[in-house]
Amino acid sequence: MSESTEHSGQKFVYDFTEGNRDLKDLLGGKGANLAEMTNLRLPVPPGFTITTEACRVYLDSGSEPPALRDEVSAHLDALERHMGKKLGQADDPLLVSVRSGAKFSMPGMMDTVLNIGLSDASVAGLAQQAGDERFAWDSYRRLVQMFGKTVLGVDGELFEEALDEAKAAKGVTDDTDLDAGDLRALVKAFKGIVTERTGREFPQDPREQMDLAVRAVFDSWNGDRARLYRRQERIPGDLGTAVNICSMVFGNLGPDSGTGVAFTRDPASGQQGVYGDYLQNAQGEDVVAGIRNTVPLADLETIDKASYDRLMEIMETLENHYKDLCDIEFTIERGRLWMLQTRVGKRTAGAAFRIATQLVDQGLIDEAEALKRVNGAQLAQLMFPRFDENATVELLGRGIAASPGAAVGKAVFDSYTAVKWSRSGERVILIRRETNPDDLDGMIAAEGILTSRGGKTSHAAVVARGMGKTCVCGAEDLDVDTKRRRMTVGGTVVEEGDVVSVDGSTGKVYLGEVPVVPSPVVEYFEGRMHAGADDADELVVAVHRMMAYADRVRRLRVRANADNAEDALRARRFGAQGIGLCRTEHMFLGERREMVERLILADTDEERTTALEQLLPLQRQDFVELFEAMDGLPVTVRLLDPPLHEFLPDITELSVRVALAEAREDHNENDLRLLQAVHRLHEQNPMLGLRGVRLGLVIPGLFTMQVRAIAEAAAARKNAKGDPRAEIMIPLVGTVQELEIVRDEAEQVMAEVAAATGVALRLALGTMIELPRAALTAGQIAEAAEFFSFGTNDLTQTVWGFSRDDVEASFFTAYLEKGIFGVSPFETIDRDGVGALVRSAAAAGRATRPDLKLGVCGEHGGDPESVHFFHGVGLDYVSCSPFRIPVARLEAGRAAVLSRHGADSGR
């Protein structure tokens, strides 16, 4: 090798025997695993890999590194010597495949080209050697077709059409029914297409074929689809791809040959067994392309027992070696088995948990490793109600699983009907070609959303995920006709009002009502199903074990966002270690609204005091119940946050009412005053208006009433021998002065309550950090706060200058499609912006007050990636909705394990 690397000292080509699975950065995933299998002495057709480094040089400089050509020649020579024939040699050609393979497998990279080396000259030699003329011409036509399409950029349809014509002319349907003569004619037709479309002949020089294909792989790194995918997945744009040159083996040599794919265990259930598909007399992607019907892998045992046994043996070797489920691609050439690819395989959420615990039991991995093999997104999926597997269903079609859940309802094709029907108590599924901001009301009203166009970042998908609503998008088989209020799928017509069922976890759409069953995992968290029971569900046991392990290793505590005893109790069952956010605004709604109105309308101190005194006992009772439900655990109560107008009647409705009354000359004094108040409080931009601590400072007595209710409730619980742990949280603070004023008043009230009840109270007082200014002055704010809770929803809004409701529905789709961010910053914390503020505020706060308690209570608290970030910046806890608690617990455990192992939780 030394002669080819002496110029730069860099080695651009690795034989399969030289690499290993840890070299994914350099050799790409496919190349690294081909090398690993080669080293395991598995039957891999010999070959070599051109490194990502060579690709990077090409991408930077616009041409291949000068040393590459000779290095490839050296490796090709070695390969030719090993195989005993030369690339494209006329009487007995060596053929190769050229396969892309980056570190992360990604869409948009060049498709593999098989049979490189075949030409007008060598096709006869191949026929001679194989003793099969048909095979040789079949291989050649595949080469011209694949090369024409992927390397030369000819529209693939043209070849498909020519192939269809050839079959039609012969009156057959399968490509295997074409004989050598037909295929020879087809090659001629294909070559004609190439010449016509590219203005040049199909290249006959084998090395030129290979070099062109390699360059095409390099170029495909910067294809539109690949770039977009990378931007969305935050895969760096400068990694480059490797190229694998692999000597051909042939599955299309007759019935004793074939090609297949397999999993070492069932990717759906995790069960060990024989899972895969096999297709006789076929090459490459035929097996997954659906051109002919495949047979289950188990049938291979009868077709070719020896190959089957060898395959089973190899699968076991791979599992033991990778210590995980692997998927593989293989080919059988005249009774001889060849391995063409392996990698750690994708799996369903349930299988991930089962496989992780199975591997622990088999002694292949330890619990820490098992924890890395599952994740919160999978757990969340397992917690959605699901369609009954035993139900008889009629599958209508399938789209992209955009937002999980199982939704059933009557089909409606416009927003207006969705809203109208749902108001009268119907459950509806909103079906559109695609949605836009005008559909928002309908989306809110619907149980689920179904579109025939658009991907994971389409408007429907983004908004549905934001709302936690079931959504399947891009179900292209559905022909949605909104004008005629119906959709057609194949021969089936679904009219408005027909019931459909939509599975947002699988993307499947059914006709009729599929019964929904609760998730066994939720039954387990609710305590209605026990992991220790004899008949315990295997999945439940696996989840239980992983949760127990996560709880043992995690450092982050997990609290719940809950406002009432019922939610608090559920949160506790789900493992909450306290309440991180109790919003008090819900305590001002319903029949209490009138009291709030009176408070707002009060002209005199006396009226105001009366209103507050009416609210006090009600609030106190709310807190007594909450503290009882959370006995012994911290409960952070946030004082009133939203702007007051939210508690008043709608401005239009009220105006109409007043106008009508005036027309009748029936003046209602109260309504008039209310209307004035509504006008007075009306804000252009309520998000940035009179809310949070600003309210507390402007409406005398409001916050002190709330503090009193909390303190008295705590005292009452203490008297009842309870263990209340209330914490008082001030929202929307921007400067320490605001906090100081509120704190002084609160301390006075607490002292009064202590004196009056004789119960010693020590309630912690802290603040939310949800404004950039608060984050930037966190060092000062910590002087007056015993804890910070990062309100990352508002912080995201204010840091980005986004009003969430407005932006998600209007332009987020465009932003996601342009790759400005890969995921909405309201779903996953924006590490570089919002996250940076959290990090610096946490540090500044702790610098002032080393024992400052730090938590987060935005929705990010239940988002897996964000949890890892919060672990990393050293927060004490995350707080999330009760239903997300298990996810947060699991991810907090994973964050602990992953950071311990110095790995990144990235993707």
Residue number with CB closer to ligand ADP (94 or 781): 94
**Among candidates 585, 573, 701, which has minimal Cα distance to 644?**
585
Residues in Cβ contact with 674 at an 8 Å cutoff, skipping those fewer than 6 apart: 597, 601, 648, 649, 654
Contacts (CB under 5 A) with Mg ion, residues 234-253:
none
- Cβ proximity to Mg ion: between 259 and 879 the closer is 259
Catalytic annotation present for 55:
no
By CB under 6 A, the residues from 409 to 468 that bind ligand ADP are none
Q: Which is nearer to Mg ion, 261 or 890 (CB)?
A: 261
Per CB under 6 A, the segment of 72-80, 242-250, 268-276, 866-874 that binds ligand ADP is: 242-250
Nearer to ligand ADP, 94 or 576 (CB): 94
Q: Which does 248 bind (CB under 5 to 8 A by kind): Mg ion, ligand ADP, none?
A: ligand ADP
How far apart, in whole angstroms, are the C-alpha atoms of residue 232 and residue 239?
15
Query: Going by C-beta distance under 8 Å and a sequence separation of 6 or more, which residues neighbour residue 840?
Result: 775, 776, 778
Residues 341-400 that bind Mg ion (CB under 5 A): 341
Query: If binding is defined by CB under 6 A, does position 767 make contact with ligand ADP?
Result: no
Nearer to ligand ADP, 129 or 436 (CB): 129
- What amino acid is encoded at 348 in this protein? T
CA distances from 721 to 631, 717, 736 (A): 10, 6, 36
CB 268, min distance to ligand ADP, A: 20
Give dist(CA 322, CA 633) in Å, integer: 43
Per-residue H/E/C for 199-224: CCCCCCCHHHHHHHHHHHHHHHCCCH
User: Is residue 267 within 8 Å of residue 327, measured between CB atoms?
Assistant: yes
45 binds, among ligand ADP, Mg ion, none (CB under 5 to 8 A by kind): ligand ADP
Give me the catalytic one of 857, 860, 871, 880: 857
* Distance, CA of 280 to CA of 566 (rounded, Å): 60
Residue nearest to Mg ion (CB): 341
**Euclidean distance between CA atoms 576 and 815, whole angstroms:** 35
Partner from ligand ADP, Mg ion, none binding residue 516, C-beta < 5-8 Å depending on class: none
Give yes or no for residue 340 binding ligand ADP (CB under 6 A). yes
What strand order describes the sheet that includes 486-489?
479-481, 486-489, 492-495
Report the partner that residue 99 touches, choosing among ligand ADP, Mg ion, none (CB closer than 5 to 8 A by kind): ligand ADP
CB-nearer residue toward ligand ADP: 279 or 674:
279
Which one of Mg ion, ligand ADP, none interacts with residue 578, CB within 5 to 8 A by kind?
none
The listed partner (Mg ion, ligand ADP, none) that binds 637, CB under 5 to 8 Å by sort, is: none
d(CA 240, CA 221): 6
**Interacting positions 88-107 with ligand ADP (CB under 6 A):** 97, 99
Non-local CB neighbours of 580 within 8 Å, separated by 6+ positions: 559, 560, 561, 636, 789, 855, 856, 857, 861, 877, 878, 879, 880
Q: Which of 112, 357, 422, 501 binds ligand ADP (CB under 6 A)?
A: 112
Gyration radius from the chain CA atoms: 33
Task: Name the active-site residue from 75, 326, 459, 868.
Answer: 459
CB of 330 to Mg ion, least distance (A): 11
> Toward Mg ion, which CB reaches closer, 329 or 597?
329
| Site size with Mg ion, rule: CB under 5 A | 2
| Residue 477 interacts with, from Mg ion, ligand ADP, none (CB under 5-8 Å by kind) | none
* Dist CA 532 CA 524 (whole Å): 11
Contact of 52 with 240, CB cutoff 8 Å: yes
By C-beta, is 246 or 449 nearer to ligand ADP? 246
Question: Which residue, 104 or 815, has its beta carbon nearer to Mg ion?
Answer: 104
Instruction: Quote the CA–CA distance of 690 and 723 in Å, as a whole number.
Output: 35
Taking residues 328 to 347 in sequence order and writing x for each that binds Mg ion by CB under 5 A, - otherwise, the string is: -x-----------x------
- Residue by residue, DSSP assigns 214-267 as HHHHHHHTTSHHHHHHHHHHT--TT--EEEEEEE---S-SSTT-EEEEEEEE-T
Measured from the CB of residue 329, what is the shortest distance to Mg ion in angstroms?
5
Can residue 710 be called a binding residue for ligand ADP (CB under 6 A)?
A: no
Query: Alpha carbon 336 to chain centroid distance?
Result: 40
| 828 contact, one of Mg ion, ligand ADP, none, CB 5-8 Å limit per kind | none
Out of 132, 329, 439, 622, point to the residue binding ligand ADP (CB under 6 A).
Answer: 329
CA distance linking residue 18 with residue 502, whole number of Å: 49
Q: How far is the CB of 723 from Mg ion (least distance, A)?
A: 60
342 binds, among ligand ADP, Mg ion, none (CB under 5 to 8 A by kind): none
249 binds, among ligand ADP, Mg ion, none (CB under 5 to 8 A by kind): ligand ADP
Q: Please compute, for residue 716, the number of CA atoms within 13 A of its CA located in the half-sphere on the CB side.
A: 16
Q: Is 857 a catalytic residue?
A: yes
Per CB under 6 A, the list member of 26, 87, 113, 114 interacting with ligand ADP is 114
CA distance 87 to 74: 13
Work out whether 314 is an interface residue with ligand ADP (CB under 6 A).
no
Residue 242 contact among Mg ion, ligand ADP, none, beta carbon within 5 to 8 Å by kind: none
Task: Count the helices and strands in the chain (H runs, E runs).
Answer: 37, 31
Q: From the CB of 249, what's the least distance to ligand ADP, in Å?
A: 5
Considering only 146-154, 326-334, 417-425, 692-700, which stretch makes contact with Mg ion by CB under 5 A? 326-334
- 7: Cβ contacts below 8 Å, ≥ 6 apart: 66, 67
Structure tokens at 807: 């932006």
Alpha carbon distance 714, 623 (integer Å): 8
- Contact string (CB under 6 A) for ligand ADP, positions 366-405, x = contact: ----------------------------------------
By a kind-dependent CB cut-off of 5 to 8 A, residue 791 interacts, out of ligand ADP, Mg ion, none, with none
Segment contacting ligand ADP by CB under 6 A, of 9-17, 245-253, 520-528, 779-787: 245-253
Whether the CB-CB separation of 736 and 780 falls below 8 Å is answered with yes
Residue 331 interacts with ligand ADP (CB under 6 A): yes or no: yes
Among the candidate windows 228-236, 241-249, 568-576, 812-820, which touches ligand ADP by CB under 6 A? Answer: 241-249
Q: Which of residues 284-313 bind ligand ADP (CB under 6 A)?
A: 284-285
Q: How many CB atoms lie within 10 A of CB 604?
A: 8
Cβ proximity to ligand ADP, 246 vs 337, nearer residue:
246
Alpha helices in 581-650 (DSSP H): 593-601, 605-629
Residue 128 burial (C-beta neighbours within 10 Å; 0-12, 13-18, 19+)? middle
Q: What are phi and psi of 185, to 5 degrees?
A: -65, -35
For β-strands 557-561 and 579-583, DSSP reports them as parallel
Among 28, 31, 45, 240, binds ligand ADP (CB under 6 A): 45
Tokens of 579: 């309440």
Q: Which is closer to Mg ion, CB of 106 or CB of 411?
A: 106
Smaller CB separation from Mg ion, 52 or 341: 341
**Cβ distance to Mg ion smaller for residue 341 or 452:** 341
Q: What is the DSSP string of 786-824?
A: SEEEE-HHHHHHHHHT--HHHHHHHTHHHHHHTTS-SS-
The residues assigned a catalytic role are 459, 857
Binding site for Mg ion (CB under 5 A): 329, 341
Binding site for ligand ADP (CB under 6 A): 45, 97, 99, 112, 114, 246-249, 284-285, 329, 331, 340-341
